[in-house]
Every structure is written in structure tokens, then in C-alpha cells.
């Protein structure tokens, strides 16, 4: 659970920016997108295989 304490001299926009950064760093939004719909185990394996292949291609070119 991410929380941000707003100080007396701080404006709301800056606090919101800090909160968004904390959520991004904690991986909350990506986790929420990942659980938006059910993914079958075969689809999950296929997605992981595709990402591994992409990473492998990148390392080969460098």
C-alpha cells in the first residue's frame, strides 16, 4: 500500500506526482493491467516465450 503525506507547504500536484511515482516503482499499475482479464496458462507461456525471444535478439545484436 503506497501512501504520500502532504506537507503544509506542498501543493497537491506535487504530492500526486510523488504518489504516481511511488505506485510505478512498486509495480501496482502494471500488476493491475496484468490482472484485468484472465490469461490462460498456454497464453502466459506463449507471452513469456515471445519476451524471451525478443530479449535474446537484442543481446545478440549488441
pLDDT of 21: 93
Residue 3 maps to a domain? no
Residue 1 maps to a domain? no
First to last CA, the chain: 39
pLDDT digits (tens, 9 = 90+) for 29-52: 888 888 888 989 999 999 999 999
pLDDT of 48: 93
User: Grid coordinates 519476451 are at which residue?
Assistant: 51
Total structural domains within the chain:
1
Q: How far is CA 57 from the centre of its chain?
A: 23
pLDDT of 62: 59
Q: Which domain holds residue 23?
A: 12-61
Half-sphere exposure of 10 (CA within 13 A, CB side): 11
Residue 4 maps to a domain? no
pLDDT of 19: 93
Residue by residue, what is the 3-state secondary structure of 9-61?
CCCHHHHHHHHHHHHHHHCHHHHHHHCCCCCCHHHHHHHHHHHHHHHHHHHHH
Residue 56 maps to a domain? yes
User: In the predicted model, what is the mean pLDDT of the chain?
Assistant: 89
Residue 13 has pLDDT above 80, yes or no: yes
Amino acid at each position: 500500500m503506497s501512501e504520500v503525506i502532504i506537507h503544509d507547504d506542498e501543493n497537491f500536484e506535487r504530492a500526486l506526482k510523488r504518489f504516481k511515482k511511488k505506485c510505478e516503482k512498486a509495480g501496482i499499475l502494471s500488476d493491475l493491467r496484468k490482472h484485468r482479464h484472465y490469461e490462460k496458462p498456454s497464453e502466459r507461456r506463449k507471452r513469456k516465450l515471445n519476451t524471451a525471444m525478443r530479449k535474446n535478439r537484442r543481446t545478440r545484436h549488441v
